[in-house]
């Protein structure tokens, strides 16, 4: 639902009276910002009452490009261009312009909204131990690997025993006072 109804917007435009009052005076009378009054007046002048209705639009790249080209050739402002093409939010025009300058027509293509899809699950690593690799090793290489693994295992056991020895009988580490 729109913040302001169409009938309220039409009363604001009628009160403006074709330039008899300033945007600021009309805004103060109705408790709205003068730039909002200015936007409604421009939309009403370009499109009548239909310009004051709420509109949800998604524009394709070709339409965006035609809007930008007309704006550039005629030297129109963002606000005036938005009023001519009945675009509700004039602040999207600088974004379109920036997107076109950076990526061309692809920069004007509509983007998907919302959260991106989940990441794909990573593939399992291809470096899994192959049982045939051990059979290719010589007896000396296998014995050297076994000795290394036994040494590593003994080191870890010794480290765990030292950590347990440091703990007090109640299972807590001693304080460093």
Cβ distance 93 to 87 under 8 Å? yes
Q: What is the spatial distance between Cα 168 and Cα 109, in angstroms, rounded to a whole number?
A: 68
Cβ distance 12 to 40 under 8 Å? yes
User: How many CB atoms lie under 10 A from the CB of residue 67?
Assistant: 22
Instruction: For residue 119, tell me if it sits in a domain.
Output: no
Q: Are residues 48 and 4 in the same domain?
A: yes
Instruction: For residue 116, tell me if it sits in a domain.
Output: no
Instruction: For residue 160, tell me if it sits in a domain.
Output: yes
Quick one: how far is CA 36 from the chain centroid? Answer: 27
121 CB-near residues (< 8 Å, 6+ apart): none
Q: Are residues 72 and 35 in the same domain?
A: no
For 177, counting Cβ atoms within 10 Å of its Cβ (0-12 exposed, 13-18 middle, 19+ buried), the class is exposed
Instruction: For residue 99, tell me if it sits in a domain.
Output: yes
Instruction: For residue 48, tell me if it sits in a domain.
Output: yes
What was the pLDDT predicted at 40? 85
- Which two structure tokens, joined as six digits, stand for 109? 């293509």
Q: What is the spatial distance between Cα 113 and Cα 119, in angstroms, rounded to a whole number?
A: 17
Instruction: For residue 7, tell me if it sits in a domain.
Output: yes
pLDDT tens, residue order, the chain (177 aa): 468 888 888 888 888 877 778 888 888 888 999 888 888 888 888 777 777 777 767 788 888 999 999 999 999 999 888 888 888 778 889 999 999 999 888 888 887 778 877 777 777 766 656 656 777 788 898 899 999 999 999 999 999 988 888 876 666 666 666
Cβ distance 13 to 44 under 8 Å? yes
What was the pLDDT predicted at 122? 77
Tokens 């008899």 sit on residue: 20
């Amino acid at each position: 639902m729109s913040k302001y109804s169409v009938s309220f917007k039409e009363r604001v435009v009628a009160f403006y009276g074709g330039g008899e009052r300033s945007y600021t005076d009309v805004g103060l009378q109705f408790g709205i910002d003068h730039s909002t009054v200015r936007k409604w007046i421009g939309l009403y002048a370009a499109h009548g009452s239909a310009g004051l209705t709420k509109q949800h639009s998604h524009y394709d790249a070709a339409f965006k490009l035609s809007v930008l080209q007309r704006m550039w050739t005629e030297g129109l402002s963002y606000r005036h261009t938005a009023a001519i093409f009945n675009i509700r939010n004039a602040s999207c025009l600088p974004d379109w312009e920036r997107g076109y300058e950076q990526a061309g027509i692809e920069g004007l293509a509509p983007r998907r909204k919302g959260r991106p899809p989940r990441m794909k699950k990573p593939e399992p690593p291809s470096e899994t131990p192959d049982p045939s690799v051990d059979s290719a090793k010589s007896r000396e290489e296998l014995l050297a690997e076994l000795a290394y693994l036994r040494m590593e295992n003994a080191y870890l056991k010794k480290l765990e025993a030292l950590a347990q020895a440091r703990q007090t009988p109640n299972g807590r580490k001693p304080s460093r006072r």
